[in-house]
C-alpha cells in the first residue's frame, strides 16, 4: 500500500490509523507548497488533488474517513471495527460519517461571515452541531464502548484537530475525550511533525 501524505495535513489521521494497525505500507511524502497534488499523475489518482490518498494495488481510496474504514476492515483481525451486521456497526458508521459530512462543513462555514440556511444546509447550525458533539462524546472510554476503534480515529481526531485551531469550544467532557485521544502513543507519533 502507498500512503500519500504530508505531516501538516489531514493525512496525519490516516497515518495515525496505519500506526494503530501496524499496517505495512510505503509513505509517499507530498509537498503541498510545491503543488505536488496538482500534477497529472497525482490527479489521475485523486481528481480532488487532496491528501490523504491511499493506493492498495488497483484500489484507490480517498477521503480520510473512507481510508480509515477501509483499513479497519482490511486488517479486521486488529479489532478496530465492529463486525459488519452487528448493532455496533450502525453506531460506528455514525461516528465515521458525522465528522466529514456535518461537523467539518459546519465549523468551516461558521468561521466565515456568511448567511446560511441551517434547515436546508446538511450541517445545520452551531447550536445543534455542538449538542450532537456533546451527546456523541463518550464520558469515558471510546466512541462505541470500551473498545478503541476507527470511529475514535475519525471522530476523536476531528475534535482534536478543530479544538487545536480554536474552531470548536470544547466542553469539559469533550476536552477529556480529546485528552484520551491525544494520550495514545500512535496519535503522538503521527502528530509529532505537525
Ligand X SMILES: N[C@@H](CCC(=O)N[C@@H](CS)C(=O)NCC(=O)O)C(=O)O
Residue 3 to residue 5: CA distance in whole angstroms = 6
Residue 149 found at the interface with ligand X (CB under 6 A):
no
Residue 190 found at the interface with ligand X (CB under 6 A):
no
Piece in contact with ligand X (CB under 6 A), picked from 48-56, 71-79, 109-117, 167-175:
48-56
Residue 118 found at the interface with ligand X (CB under 6 A):
no
Tell which positions 63-102 bind ligand X, by CB under 6 A: 63-64, 100
Residue 117 to residue 125: CA distance in whole angstroms = 8
CB atoms within 10 A of CB 115: 5
Q: Which of 51, 69, 151, 174 binds ligand X (CB under 6 A)?
A: 51
Residue 25 to residue 115: CA distance in whole angstroms = 44
Q: Least Å distance between CB 162 and ligand X?
A: 12
How many residues of this chain bind ligand X (CB under 6 A)?
11
Residue 32 found at the interface with ligand X (CB under 6 A):
yes
Residue 9 found at the interface with ligand X (CB under 6 A):
yes
Q: Which of 5, 15, 19, 50 binds ligand X (CB under 6 A)?
A: 50
Q: Which of 15, 18, 19, 37 binds ligand X (CB under 6 A)?
A: 37
Piece in contact with ligand X (CB under 6 A), picked from 16-24, 49-57, 113-121, 164-172:
49-57
Piece in contact with ligand X (CB under 6 A), picked from 17-25, 47-55, 116-124, 181-189:
47-55
Which residues would be at the binding site for ligand X (CB under 6 A)?
Answer: 9-10, 32, 37, 49-52, 63-64, 100
Amino acid at each position: 500500500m502507498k500512503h500519500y501524505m504530508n505531516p501538516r495535513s489531514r493525512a496525519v489521521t490516516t497515518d495515525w490509523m496505519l500506526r494503530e494497525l501496524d499496517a505495512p505500507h510505503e509513505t509517499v511524502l507530498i509537498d503541498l507548497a510545491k503543488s505536488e497534488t496538482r500534477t497529472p499523475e497525482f490527479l489521475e489518482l485523486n481528481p480532488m488533488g487532496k491528501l490523504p490518498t491511499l493506493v492498495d494495488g488497483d484500489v484507490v481510496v480517498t477521503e480520510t474517513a473512507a481510508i480509515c474504514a477501509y483499513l479497519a476492515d482490511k486488517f479486521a483481525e486488529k479489532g478496530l471495527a465492529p463486525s459488519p451486521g452487528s448493532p455496533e456497526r450502525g453506531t460506528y458508521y455514525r461516528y465515521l460519517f458525522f465528522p466529514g459530512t456535518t461537523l467539518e462543513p459546519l465549523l468551516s462555514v461558521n468561521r466565515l461571515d456568511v448567511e446560511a440556511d441551517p434547515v436546508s444546509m446538511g450541517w445545520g447550525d452551531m447550536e445543534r452541531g455542538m449538542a450532537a458533539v456533546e451527546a456523541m462524546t463518550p464520558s469515558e472510554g471510546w466512541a462505541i464502548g470500551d473498545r478503541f476503534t476507527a470511529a475514535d480515529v475519525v471522530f476523536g481526531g476531528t475534535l482534536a484537530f478543530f479544538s487545536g485551531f480554536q474552531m470548536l469550544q470544547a466542553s469539559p467532557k469533550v476536552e477529556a475525550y480529546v485528552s484520551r485521544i491525544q494520550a495514545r502513543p500512535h496519535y503522538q507519533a503521527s502528530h509529532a511533525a505537525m
